[in-house]
Chains A and B, each alone.
Chain A
């Protein structure tokens, strides 16, 4: 347990330090989601009332696309110089690597959301009618739902041809219930009609189910050679 935590921490801090020095993934994600926001607002041009109805969908689709940009780069660094092969022969637990990578992506996408959400609010003149604090658990659970499976499928698509395109093809069908829950919960909170509890519980269930599945099966994926 101790080694799991220390290896996770070591990998996580290494990844964050590398990302902080280059800021490649973060900058490309930020710019990408900014473009999505601008293009969406040109294509729909909604008034304040309509915005509340559609903003949940727009914001999460923008984050989903941006997250794929980051997720695709998750393992690229470890492929160079055969780092993954070295990891495979080392006695370190496979799940430490997975948790570190998933947490790294979670932090990355959370930073993106923290920067982009106010921008969304400004561009679409949004003001939550329902309980706004509920957006925080929705954001946390939703982001984790995207990155836990995204990190896993990114590791899976390492072994395929044209892996950049493989990741969304694998991730999007599985993510449909999660995306629907995030979008519905956000819409309900913004427009204030009804309670978002069902969707938050569904998101939580999704997170628990797939985190367990990822942890149980990651070793198989890592050793697939």
Chain B
């Protein structure tokens, strides 16, 4: 596992470079929009990755509430953090594309608004995790994740009532897309998913290490400053056991 991470990192970097090359030079130019359409290869994969990560967050939160597994909680935290990053990419690249094509930066369209509200919900999720005291945080956060998931369809329907301006989804939405463009899009999605998985994994290991450190520090404070309980042997001290734990690198 420890050795797989650098290999995966190198593969992801190569894949990202290849996807970039495909998106910028190989993919055909769009007839009406021109080069600005190429942002599509970053916007759409980021959106898919963000939604995937938010789904992972929901599943991990439900698993945590049922089985109280610390790993599920760490996974929920990590997927929310990385998901917010990708969702931010979506919300930034969208207006950059919309300004030349629609002539406006932002409109209260169904997909834009739903994505923005989703982003707001997950930022409030991360704020809650930051402001909460450590021992109850996972429970509160898992509950909030469920509330957020319940909210998203309602947001969608509330905006659905207005006219929608976002282009209909070209995949599964009845639109047509050049097969070469679809190919580039899928490569980019694969690259972005690998990238998300990579930084998620890194962050996960960091989080678990952080928890071990916190636990060891709490134990040390409990046992006194020398780290030795009055009655037990030195080898029992948790600090003496933890260095064997593998680090993130």
Contacts and interface: CB of A to CB of B under 8 A. Distances in A.
B155 A166 contact: no
A159 interface: yes
Interface string A143-161: 0000001000000100111
Contact of B139 (A162, A174, A220): A220
A91 interface: no
Contact of B158 (A159, A162, A181, A224): A181
The winner among A172, A177, A178, A205 for most chain B CB atoms within 10 A is: A177
B154 A220 contact: no
A157 B123 CA distance: 16
A206 interface: yes
A210 B150 contact: yes
A225 to B, nearest CB: 7
Nearest to B161: A198
Main secondary structure of the interface of B (DSSP, over half): helix
A128 interface: no
Main secondary structure of the interface of A (DSSP, over half): helix
27 contacts: A156-B144, A159-B133, A160-B131, A160-B132, A161-B131, A162-B131, A169-B127, A169-B128, A173-B117, A173-B120, A173-B121, A173-B148, A174-B151, A176-B155, A177-B117, A177-B151, A177-B154, A199-B161, A202-B158, A210-B147, A213-B147, A217-B146, A220-B143, A221-B139, A221-B140, A224-B136, A225-B135
Nearest to A209: B150
Contact of A213 (B123, B124, B146): B146
B106 interface: no
A42 to B, nearest CB: 27
A180 interface: yes
Contact count band on B: 20 to 34
A168 B58 CA distance: 22
3 cross-chain pairs, A with B, having the tightest CB-CB distances, nearest first = A177-B154, A173-B120, A224-B136
A160 B140 CA distance: 10
Nearest to B156: A177
Given A173-B117, A174-B148, A202 B154 contact: yes
Contact count band on A: 20 to 34
A159 B120 CA distance: 21
Contacts of B140: 156, 159-160, 221, 224
Contact of A159 (B117, B132, B148): B132
The winner among A184, A198, A217 for most chain B CB atoms within 10 A is: A217
Given A213-B147, A220-B139, 6 more contacts: A156-B128, A156-B144, A169-B127, A169-B128, A173-B123, A202-B157
Interface in B102-150: 117, 120-121, 123-124, 127-128, 131-133, 135-136, 139-140, 143-144, 146-148, 150
A181 B123 CA distance: 23
A221 B65 CA distance: 11
The winner among A160, A172, A178, A213 for most chain B CB atoms within 10 A is: A160
B158 A177 contact: yes
Contact of B154 (A161, A162, A209, A225): A209
Contacts of B121: 173-174
Contacts of A34: none
Interface of A: 149, 156, 159-162, 166, 169-170, 172-174, 176-178, 180-181, 184, 198-199, 202, 205-206, 209-210, 213, 217, 220-221, 224-225
Nearest to A178: B154
Contact of B124 (A149, A173, A181, A205): A173
B129 to A, nearest CB: 10
A210 B155 CA distance: 13
A209 B129 CA distance: 24
A210 B147 CA distance: 8
The winner among A159, A173, A176, A220 for most chain B CB atoms within 10 A is: A173
A223 B203 CA distance: 29
Contacts of A181: 158
B79 to A, nearest CB: 18
A221 B143 contact: yes
Nearest to B162: A184
Given A176-B117, A220-B143, A169 B124 contact: yes
The winner among A162, A169, A184 for most chain B CB atoms within 10 A is: A169
Contacts of B117: 173, 176-177
A224 B128 CA distance: 14
